[in-house]
Amino acid sequence: MSEELADDYDAVIFDNDGVLVEPTEQDVIVDGVRRAFESFGVEIDRSVARQTVEDSTVPTETAREHGLDPEALWHYRELTVALAQQTHVRDGGKQVYDDIAALEHLAVPLGVVSNNQHATIEFLLVHHELEYFETAYGRQPTLAGAANRKPEPYYIERALADLDASDALYVGDSETDVLAAHNAGLDSVFLRREHCADATLSVEPTAEVHDLRSLVERLTEQH
């Protein structure tokens, strides 16, 4: 790993879950998936719902097996999961990491690009009063929105356009984030927090850090 970061990035874009705020407890999402199917009169086994969450898959075949329109089911699934996460946040879940305060020392525009629902990202930024970011994207509640999730660069490229940036840095906590950054032609930082401390990556990030303070120190000490 080169561990070499540039000294002239024109923006920094962050993943959300596991980077800015704590990851969502998986059972919250699984419950939302099951409620979505139940709203269409279908009961699915919890293990089936959990598998779609673990694999980040759109349950297209499961929908068709039950005679459901995949687009309609996915749209409602996104709504129920977003609402479930909002309730989870109000109950004390998905707290902001303490080191996020370090971002105030970055002098370039900041953005957020997440694979979570856009409605969830908007809610979190308002609920936690996170005013560091000039633009933010989550996935749209459509099959096309799901197809554009990272590692596709679609939402990162939209954020770059908003920030009028072309040589940004992307910061995430998964291999998918590293791939998305590279697919967008950007340098990447893998944030090895406690929940991903033992992760093995098959793709090499530009650099690794253990917290946002370390990231900011790396970026500011070069100026």
**Per-residue pLDDT tens for 45-70?**
999 999 999 999 999 999 999 999 99
Sign of the four-CA dihedral 35, 138, 86, 20: positive
Q: Work out the average pLDDT over 120-139.
A: 98
Q: How many domains does the chain have?
A: 2
* 63 and 84 fall within a common domain: yes
- Which pLDDT band, with edges at 50, 70 and 90, does 221 fall under? confident
Report yes or no on 197 lying in a domain.
yes
Neighbours of 99 (CB within 10 A): 17
- Which pLDDT band, with edges at 50, 70 and 90, does 102 fall under? very high
- Which pLDDT band, with edges at 50, 70 and 90, does 4 fall under? confident
**Could you tell me the CATH number of the domain that includes residue 67?**
1.10.150
* 100 and 61 fall within a common domain: no
For residue 195 the two structure tokens come to 């929940």
Domain enclosing residue 62, as ranges: 26-90
* 100 and 201 fall within a common domain: yes
* 186 and 76 fall within a common domain: no
Report yes or no on 65 lying in a domain.
yes
Token pair 């098959």 is at which residue? 202
Token pair 């840095």 is at which residue? 169
Of 90, 113, 141, which one is at a domain's C-terminal end? 90
The residue type found at 9 is Y
Bridge pairing between strands 187-191 and 110-117? unpaired
- Which pLDDT band, with edges at 50, 70 and 90, does 222 fall under? low
* 99 and 200 fall within a common domain: yes
pLDDT at residue 119 is higher than 70:
yes
Q: What is the pLDDT of residue 126?
A: 97
**β-sheet bridge partners, residue 188:** 170
Is this prediction's pTM over 0.85? yes
